[in-house]
Structure 1
């Protein structure tokens, strides 16, 4: 397996804090202004990417603010100069012709720094209450496969005629196509069998939810071995980072956030009620205590500066190229990571694939 250079990204705070909503060090704030300033600060600190999750209504509590992903992505494309901008998309919310046109617009505003993250939805009310309907798990992936087929070909500038179960596109072409490369990149999330098949066939990068290195290595091996056309698949990992000068300090910070997160139990109950039980991400996240979303601290990036840097190198050796990171309080911890961890990661020799991190007790 070819191991590409490491990249580090941040989750935009589209629905506020990622670890605990009732944290006095990080009051709830999902505003455009906060996210704008956060991404601009990340770019200045040297981060390579940002992921803007898509929800039309807040997935945890409907009366909480929720940033809109695609308008924010377009605005960030105009304000930034280097950082990659990834906007998540749930296929049922946009017709593929419309979405392809939006993606190409942001691609050209950003001068070739835009990507889409295909996710097939888990929050039932978001679709049901709009009258769209929430299809069964595998049916959503079948729809998404047809949807991304149309989007990908249109983003490449192809004049497309396509007839499928869900879409009937006739002699359609979008101009301008990408002015900077063949098309925007396609990231794919999800770990079920239909998700793995989809990313092998249509994705450029597979986003894996935070979990221990052994599990991540197994997922990579499975999907990397599948036949596909074009360039080899690349891999990204979501992770929540808690790092301090010493192991004990990091563990104490973890315990603080874990205790605070318990106050969000009513919100988590709403999320569980609204979630399709077949979504593998949610099954993975229930395996153990953790802080953060999308696996969070289950990836084991809790510890001293040297410990966290070593674990990142081990994941990189296993094939992870992009780490999409969460912190809390976000701005201060994002800066700490840029100052203390990124230089350590780049200064050390590559870690062998068979090296394994020592996970912090209670952090995964």
Structure 2
């Protein structure tokens, strides 16, 4: 089997597949996020992705953890796992965000990565009176934003005069003591997103899709001009792995049935979504559970089948699999116990839980 890295999505807004699951009560609390990442690290997972939303994008009345403050706290509690925090450029000035990134880099000892995403939920911005430009304009803004952030987190003294930002000999200290700068991940599959990924990111995140589609996407990015090291590739996927394919398909059917209860919330989400976002255009063509493509990546089946499909994606160029599970903690453990050994990864004992008073 190929060498791969496995990560897990933090439960920043609770369940990924179905919100009304009797096997997993809704929980987007700090304690649940903290304990999930601590256990993931203890089990041997390589990374966690902490998505960013100011309000819950599915259920306005439900909790939503903050990505950056949570990541900073988790950085102080962990010692090995990579911590990737998503960021929407329209929410933070590049100076403020770069300073936060370098601080988490310092706290974590060089384990931090920032994941730039182009916002899709216009209500998140408009209800706060913040501008929400059209799709390509957001990427133009994000491109300038990232060009400034990338230099600041390198420790450079930055003078910049652009359409959106003006900096005069700005320097942030401390710069990273561990490497040139924190790692940059980029999500999005539109043409502006691909161009930005090839130009300024270290890893391009692909939404869960069949391997033929993923191969074509990777081929397109590899063919683009680029300075520096080769671009890396990550894949989001929802996993259902069982002893037999029949058992996995039965669990998929259970989640599909539960997902029906979320239709009213999904309708609200769709009304708040920018129609030009390629992720949602692609997702609308496929049946799946989970987010960001979820089970469309095909990681549903027996342990051997799931391992073979992971290996096929790895041979196509995917280095990091950012995984979703439900119920999250038990399925995260199952995957580590059953799939990790097939890739030569040792499985450690689960981390001890924090006491209730430690919240």
Query: Shorter-chain TM-score: what band?
Result: over 0.9
Matched-pair contact (CA < 8 Å) for 1:312–1:345: no
The answer to whether structure 1 residue 190 and structure 2 residue 175 are counterparts is no
Residue deviations 1:27-54, cap 9 Å, x none?
1100000000000000000000000000
Matches within 5 A, 1:1-364: 5-346=3-344
SS at match of 2:337: helix
Q: CA deviation at 1:4?
A: 8.5
CA distance in 2, matches of 1:312, 1:289: 20
RMSD of aligned alpha carbons: 1.1
1:352 matched residue in structure 2: none
CA distance in 1, matches of 2:104, 2:310: 31
Matched-pair contact (CA < 8 Å) for 1:107–1:113: yes
CA distance in 2, matches of 1:73, 1:309: 30
Matched-pair contact (CA < 8 Å) for 2:2–2:311: no
Q: CA deviation at 1:62?
A: 1.1
Matched-pair contact (CA < 8 Å) for 2:5–2:46: yes
Matched-pair contact (CA < 8 Å) for 1:310–1:345: no
Matched-pair contact (CA < 8 Å) for 1:205–1:236: yes
CA distance in 2, matches of 1:5, 1:199: 23
1:350 matched residue in structure 2: none
Residue deviations 1:145-182, cap 9 Å, x none?
00000100000000010000000011100010001000
CA distance in 2, matches of 1:61, 1:194: 30
CA distance in 2, matches of 1:182, 1:231: 13
Aligned length: 345
CA distance in 1, matches of 2:323, 2:276: 25
Structure 1 unaligned blocks of 5 or more? 348-364
Q: Cα gap change, 1:4/1:189 in structure 2, threshold over 3 Å: closer, same or farther?
A: farther
CA distance in 2, matches of 1:219, 1:346: 28
CA distance in 1, matches of 2:37, 2:27: 14
CA distance in 1, matches of 2:61, 2:132: 22
Matched-pair contact (CA < 8 Å) for 1:4–1:321: no
Matched-pair contact (CA < 8 Å) for 1:212–1:298: yes
CA distance in 1, matches of 2:3, 2:218: 17
CA distance in 2, matches of 1:36, 1:175: 28
CA distance in 2, matches of 1:238, 1:299: 8
Q: CA deviation at 1:5?
A: 3.5
Q: Which has the higher contact order (CA 8 A, sep 6+)?
A: 2
Q: CA deviation at 1:281?
A: 0.6
Structure 1's consecutive aligned runs of 4 or more residues displaced over 2 angstroms after TM superposition are none
CA distance in 2, matches of 1:127, 1:4: 42
Structure 2 unaligned blocks of 5 or more? 346-359
Q: CA deviation at 1:92?
A: 0.5
Q: TM-score, normalised by structure 2?
A: 0.95
2:352 matched residue in structure 1: none
Q: TM-score, normalised by structure 1?
A: 0.94
Residue deviations 1:218-268, cap 9 Å, x none?
000001110011000000000000010001000000000011011100011
